[in-house]
């Protein structure tokens, strides 16, 4: 049986690793890139909820500010 990762989980994972590595821009920029490319299909409530649980909600807010999305 194969397991698939949600795009939202990839973003959360990258933000979490950024936090653990004292603000690694590489992980943060990876999260921004996924966010920008997949913006229209992301579940923002899911990301927001988990960002809060993982104590990375400030990074998620920063990501939303830095990302270039077409709203």
User: If you ran DSSP here, which 8-state letter would residue 6 be given?
Assistant: -
pLDDT 10s digits, 24-46: 899 999 999 999 999 999 999 99
Of 70 and 61, which is predicted with more confidence? Answer: 61
Whole-angstrom Cα distance, residue 12 to residue 52?
Answer: 10
The residue whose two tokens read 């698939």 is 4
CA-based R_g, the chain, Å: 12
pLDDT 10s digits, 1-29: 456 679 999 999 999 999 999 878 999 99
| pTM (2 d.p.) | 0.88
Q: What SS3 class is residue 2? A: coil
User: If you ran DSSP here, which 8-state letter would residue 55 be given?
Assistant: T
Residue 50 has pLDDT above 70, yes or no: yes
Domain assignments of the chain as residue spans, ordered by start: 15-66
Residue 71 has pLDDT above 60, yes or no: no
Secondary structure percentages of the chain, helix, strand, coil, to 5: 70, 0, 30
């Amino acid at each position: 049986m194969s397991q698939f990762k949600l795009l939202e989980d990839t973003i959360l994972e990258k933000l979490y690793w950024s936090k653990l590595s004292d603000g690694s821009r590489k992980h943060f920029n990876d999260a921004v890139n996924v966010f920008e490319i997949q913006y229209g299909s992301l579940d923002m409530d899911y990301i927001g909820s988990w960002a809060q649980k993982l104590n990375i909600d400030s990074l998620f807010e920063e990501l939303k500010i830095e990302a270039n999305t077409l709203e």
